[in-house]
Amino acid sequence: MTIQLALDIRLREDATFSDYVGPAAARMASMTGLLYLWGRPESGRSHLLQARCHEATVQGREAIYLPAPAAHQPDILRDLELVGTVCVDDVDSVLGDDQWEAALFHLINGALAQGGFLCLCGASPASQLKVNLPDLASRLRGAMSLETNPLTDDEKLAVLQARARGRGFDLPPEVGRYIMDRSPRGMQNLISLLERLDEATLARQRRVTIPLAREALEL
């Protein structure tokens, strides 16, 4: 998609439905029309949005994922209703701005008229969003709603172990718990630490142990 390339927006390779833990992935994959996705930070919102775009591109359809809309002007949404799959992250960051709200309202109407899939994403339910434009508020509250699935600590450990295997090394449970107990438990942070641990194993040619994890955390 030319807009995606112009913005240099790249989908994470590991942000697929098969890599998501929880039933929200299957529901997201099957939904059509207008969807409002919500959940607290680090609960997999961006993962699901990118997964939906991945699925569309694999099937030969155009898709665009727009993160951090507040970093752009509202006209970034112009003509996006012509794209079959559009996923806009952190939409609550631009609510309250009259120009952004008008642009979102027009995008919703256009996407629905075109029969495409449009997903807008925020941190709270649509009923709790602070929206100035009544018509936009009505559209958001009338959209299909889907909540993400926050991971338990055991599920986070399982994800880290799966990612480690994908990188060609084993992450013993005690090492995974050691990392989780000594760092913020958001998945993005944990995956970043896993990447540092991977680099440490390659540089030192050592198997993954708690002492090696300690060294990696201190880098």
- Pairing type for strands 117-122 and 144-147 reads unpaired
Domain ranges of the chain: 2-147, 153-218
- Intervals of the chain under pLDDT 70: 1-8, 219
pLDDT of residue 12: 85
Global confidence as pTM: 0.82
Q: Does domain 2-147 have CATH number 3.30.750.24?
A: no
Pull the structure tokens for residue 85. 């799959």
Instruction: Tell me what pLDDT residue 79 has.
Output: 94
Domain spanning 153-218, CATH class: mainly alpha
Burial of 52 (0-12, 13-18, 19+ CB in 10 A): buried
pLDDT at position 219: 54
pLDDT tens for each residue of 72-88:
999 999 999 999 999 99
Mean pLDDT score across all residues of the chain: 91
Decide if 2-147 and 153-218 have a common fold: no
